[in-house]
Copies of this chain bind each other. A is one copy, B any other.
Amino acid sequence: MLCCPIRRRNLCNMYQRLTRNLWLISIVLTVTVFSLSTLFSKYSISSQTCLTKSNDKSDVQTNNRNVSSFKPTIFIGGMPRSGTTLMRAILDSHPLIRCGEETRVIPRILSMRAAWKKSPVEWNRLIAGGMTEAILDSAVRAFVYEILLHHSLSADILCDKDPFVLKYATYVASIFPNSKFLLLIRDARAVIHSVMTRRVTITGFSQTDYRQNLKLWNKGIESMFQQCQQIGHNRCMMVYYEQLVLQPKKSIENILKFLDVPWVDSVLHHEELIGKKISLSKTEHSSDQVIKPINLEALTKWFGHVPSDVREELDVLAPMLKRLGYDTKSDTPSYGTADPLVLANMEKMKENADFWKQKVKAYARQLPNNTNLFQKIS
């Protein structure tokens, strides 16, 4: 503060007041300008992102620039009855991820697009009509992403579990650069036993013919395996069902590491979230199985059910089985030792047998009684 001689005190006071006011105004001005420009710059970025998003033409021309703003996505697949529902229930128990029920429509649009591409006449017509691969990709991606986004609610990481999506894995990997794939692998003998005893209708699979089913399994898994390898181990991981149920902690740790997702203990107890974060479909075959804690019930059910003539031809009918590391010489192969956690789960399930029986009933598959119609669609 300035020193004022007494005789000019009045004027001097006035001057001091004004100086103070001036400082005050300067401070207010600085703060106002600073906060407004901060807000302005923040909204300016959002707005830029928005403009990029709506400029769809340049998107196609510049190799889908806006795809980089897509949420990360996990695709879970494999041959049916290979633990894909268990896998997605485990991931569903992670707070960052939401897989949900099978969408059924994602593999359909992928199969439709594959059919166009496969037919030289149809492809020729599309190209002659001004269509390009980039335009089609862009439309297929828009469809799939729209389904995933709405089906996955507001999860940070989107996730799709539709077993046959892995048939188109390399294509999906190309249109979704920010995606990873989990290919579930399971002993074909167990897969086929499950298809036949649980009467699962899958196009081409027979309810009685082991040979036909082994060949079909081999064809399917071979193609998925090749595509997974082509995508590379950074983006596609093979998950053995047997290891997942025998050693859940170790397996899930590896899976979450591969997915770059932090560990949370809830993934070891997905059964506690059924009906809460995890919704199950009453028309899917595995719902009444994945309501239980991770267990070994389904591991060896097939033992003793493979006809002896089929057993002898196993390596010819389904060479992929051996290639994937399964012991095709034994009729009761050992898949490894079980984690104490799983053994404890088994014990608890035994103690509360009635409780689990009721629960299984509640989640048993329900479909209208029109078998003809049903078979036509499957």
A residues with CB within 8 A of B: 8, 11, 14-15, 18-19, 21-22, 25-26, 28-29, 32-33, 36-37, 39-40, 43-44, 46-47, 49-51, 53-54, 56-57, 60, 69, 100-105, 108-109, 112, 116, 119-122, 124-126, 128-132, 134-136, 138-140, 142-147, 149-151, 153-154, 279, 281-284, 366-368, 370, 373-374, 377
Given A47-B46, A143-B140, A150-B57, does the pair A121, B373 have CB atoms closer than 8 Å?
yes
Secondary structure call for the A interface: helix
CB distance from A123 to the nearest CB of B (A): 10
Residue of B nearest to A55 (CB): B154
A146 touches B39 (CB 8 A): no
Q: List 16 A-B contacts (CB under 8 A).
A: A21-B22, A29-B32, A43-B43, A47-B47, A57-B149, A57-B150, A100-B130, A104-B122, A105-B126, A112-B112, A122-B377, A125-B283, A128-B366, A129-B281, A135-B146, A142-B143
Q: Which residues of B contact A69 (CB under 8 A)?
A: 54
A22: contacting residue among B25, B36, B282, B366, CB under 8 A: B25
Among A11, A126, A134, A149: residue with most chain B CB under 10 A: A149
A56 touches B281 (CB 8 A): no
Given A33-B36, A36-B36, does the pair A105, B100 have CB atoms closer than 8 Å?
no
CB distance from A229 to the nearest CB of B (A): 30
Among A33, A100, A129, A282: residue with most chain B CB under 10 A: A129
Given A15-B15, A36-B33, A368-B124, does the pair A146, B151 have CB atoms closer than 8 Å?
no
A22 touches B29 (CB 8 A): no
Q: Which residues of B contact A32 (CB under 8 A)?
A: 29, 32-33
Given A147-B135, A283-B128, does the pair A121, B56 have CB atoms closer than 8 Å?
no
B151 touches A130 (CB 8 A): yes
Residue of B nearest to A135 (CB): B150
Q: How many angstroms between the C-alpha atoms of A368 and B121 in the bound complex? A: 7
CB distance from A134 to the nearest CB of B (A): 8
CB distance from A284 to the nearest CB of B (A): 7
CB distance from A211 to the nearest CB of B (A): 30
A131: contacting residue among B33, B47, B104, CB under 8 A: B104
B25 touches A153 (CB 8 A): no
A139: contacting residue among B11, B40, B122, B146, CB under 8 A: B146
Name the 4 nearest CB pairs between A and B, nearest first: A50-B50, A101-B129, A142-B142, A139-B146
Contacts A121-B368, A139-B147 aside, 18 further interface pairs with beta carbons under 8 A come to A25-B25, A25-B26, A32-B33, A36-B36, A43-B43, A60-B150, A100-B130, A104-B129, A105-B126, A105-B131, A121-B373, A121-B377, A122-B377, A125-B367, A131-B151, A136-B147, A140-B143, A142-B142
